[in-house]
Structure 1
Amino acid sequence: FRTTTVLTVNLEIRFFAKMQMIKDQQYKVQHSF
């Protein structure tokens, strides 16, 4: 149970980090023009 929870949290952190990266990239692209 513990390991699956850790894995889930790890995946969520990765997912949110990826989303944040995409947001930052979109923001940079929008404001570079």
Structure 2
Amino acid sequence: MKYLCLIYFDEAKLAAVPAEELAAIVDECMTY
């Protein structure tokens, strides 16, 4: 069985996240 995960984000809020924190979030998601 295959799954697709759709992610929605607010571009304004995403732009306010520091690059280091964003990289950590992406790494955590990719690990999952």
Compute the TM-score of the two structures, normalised by the length of structure 1. 0.45
State the structure with more CA Rg. 1
More helix by share: 1
Compute the TM-score of the two structures, normalised by the length of structure 2. 0.46
